[in-house]
Structure formats: C-alpha cells, structure tokens
Amino acid sequence: MNPCKPLVLFALLFVAPAFADTIAIIGTGDVAKALGPEFAAQGHTIIYGSRNPGGDKAQDLVKISGKDASAVSPQEAVIDADIVVLAVPGLLVGEIVKGLGDLSDKIIIDPTNPLERRILTFHHAVETSNAQIIQAIAPDAYVVKAFNTLNWRTMIDPDATGGPISIPLAGDSRRAKKVVAKLVEGMGLEAIDVGGIENAHWVEGMLMLWINNRFSLRESFDFHLRKVE
Ligand SMILES: NC(=O)c1ccc[n+]([C@@H]2O[C@H](COP(=O)([O-])OP(=O)(O)OC[C@H]3O[C@@H](n4cnc5c(N)ncnc54)[C@H](OP(=O)(O)O)[C@@H]3O)[C@@H](O)[C@H]2O)c1
C-alpha cells in the first residue's frame, strides 16, 4: 500500500470536503465493496441499492461505509442520489437500469463489462457498449464509463502494482467526467479522459483478450493502464 494513502484517507475523513454528494451504489458485490468505502472516506453519503438490503452482505457494507450509509432497494437508492454506480452483472445492466426509475440529471458511473464469467464471448462485437446502452435507456442522465479496466483489488490498493494506475473515463459530459475524475483521484488513482461515450466500446473491449486467455490453455495475465508523463 502507498505509504501516503493513510494520510490521504485521514485528510479526507477529517477535513470537510468542498462538496458532498449522495452516491447510490447498486449491487453489493466485489466492486460495490471496493468503491463504497472509498467514496465514503471522501466525505460522500453512500446508499447501497440491493435486492436484499436487510441481509448480512448489504449490512456489513453499510457498517464500513461511514456513519450516514444505508441500504435500501435499488429503486429507493437512486431517488435522492446525485451519482449512481452500477456495480451489477454486465449482461443484466440494461434491465436493471430500466427498473431504477427516473435517472434524469444524475451522473451514472458504469464499471460493468458485458460478459458473463462462464461465457467466452464478448457480447457487443461491434458498435455498441454497456455504457451506450445505459445512456440510451437514460438519455437525460450523464453516463461515465469508469473502473472497468482493473480488478477490484487494484482499485483499493493501486500501489501493489508498483506505480500509479490510470482509469479511462468515457462519456459525453465534460462536467460529469470532472466529477468522476475527482472521485478517482481521491482513491489515489489517476483519471484519463478518453473522449465520448462511443469510446466505451473500446474500453470495454480491453477485457476480451484477458477473458480469452483466462479461460483457455493460454497464459493468464492482469492488466491496467498507466499514464505516460
Ligand atoms: N470484480 C472485479 O474485479 C471487477 C472489476 C471491474 C469491473 N467489474 C464489473 O463490475 C460489475 C460488478 O462486478 P462484481 O465483481 O462486483 O460483481 P458481483 O460480485 O457478482 O456483484 C454484482 C452485484 O449485483 C447485484 N445484482 C443485482 N441484480 C442481480 C442479478 N439479477 N443477479 C446477480 N446479481 C445482481 C448483486 O447485489 P444484491 O444481491 O445486493 O442485489 C450483486 O452483489 C460487473 O459488470 C463486472 O464485470 C468487475
């Protein structure tokens, strides 16, 4: 772990943030567990949206996500949220977003990858991406593709990789990308703006090589991006 990170976390916990958002995190799996406590440490209020908000998984997350954290249904979680994180299975994200209700004017962070662990096919061979599908379902929201190019362990301990880690952000709203970049930087990661939402297709496609090797006889590897100074 970066020796500076405890200091950063201390500052974030005890120095009032310039702004504090309410962040709904839909899902209570590995990515939710990585991002929720990190965003809480930056002074934001976290609401988990879970199919079982009273269950141990959701309640254990609430306990480590700041004093104002809570868990409710996905539909309830988004109502007062400024930012919505879709930490859900990639192939279900369209259906899940349709069930969330009105997402107008909210920033949606999309960390999903359009694959199912046991299926070795990338589901959007050409043209589209999960981020574009979400943007089409919620046209008045500001979708930002982020966090899908690294595993959850690296999200919370980037220095274990031996240097800074960059997070590509794809989306049509510069303002939304700036807000997400601030969250990224608060975690000790670096943000890179890779352009409009159409580029989410390529950012999502990065996982294809990984999944091909991971589930074949070829060698497996991990990957992440590092900005060139
Ligand atoms: N794991 C990683 O390292 C990693 C890294 C980058 C990106 N991603 C992507 O981020 C997304 C989330 O990954 P994850 O590893 O956090 O997944 P996960 O551990 O499987 O968690 C997904 C969560 O989605 C919720 N969910 C809602 N509807 C669901 C349904 N019908 N079936 C199953 N779960 C449902 C569940 O929360 P409730 O039970 O509380 O509703 C579940 O905990 C995926 O698209 C993945 O490809 C993962």
Q: Please tell me the predicted confidence (pLDDT) of residue 134.
A: 97
Q: Is residue 138 part of a domain?
A: yes
Which pLDDT score is estimated for 11?
A: 45
Q: What is the DSSP secondary structure assignment for residue 218, as one 8-state letter?
A: S
pTM of the model: 0.91
Determine the average pLDDT of the residues in 159-175: 95
Pocket of ligand 1 (CB under 6 A): 27-32, 50-52, 58, 87-90, 92, 96, 111-113, 147-148, 151-152
CATH number at residue 58: 3.40.50.720
Q: Is residue 93 situated within a structural domain?
A: yes
What's the N-to-C CA distance of the chain in angstroms? 22
Residue 20: strand, helix, or coil: coil
Q: Is residue 229 part of a domain?
A: no
Alpha carbons 229 and 134: distance in angstroms, whole number: 33
Ligand 1 atom nearest 115 alpha carbon? 47
pLDDT score at 18 = 54
Residue 27 phi/psi, 5° resolution? 105, 155
Short-list 178, 201, 205, 49, CA closest to 131: 201
Neighbouring residues of 220: CB distance < 8 A, sequence distance ≥ 6: 210, 213, 214
Averaged pLDDT, 28-45: 98
Kindly report, residue by residue over 61-99, the tens digit of the pLDDT.
Answer: 999 999 999 999 999 999 999 999 999 999 899 999 999
Exposure pattern of 56-83 as b/e (b: 16+ CB <10 Å)? eebbebbeebbeebebbbbebbbeebbb
Over range 25-39, report the average pLDDT: 98
In a domain, 183, yes or no: yes
In a domain, 113, yes or no: yes
Kindly give the distance from the C-alpha atom of residue 11 to the centroid of ligand 1, in angstroms, as a whole number.
30
**Domain with 170 in it:** 5-214
The larger pLDDT score, comparing residue 133 to residue 218, is at 133
Which residues have C-beta within 8 Å of that of residue 50, sequence separation ≥ 6?
27, 28, 57, 58, 71, 72, 73, 74
State the average pLDDT over residues 176-201: 97
**Of 53 and 115, more confident:** 53
224 in a structural domain: no
Q: What total number of domains does the chain contain?
A: 1
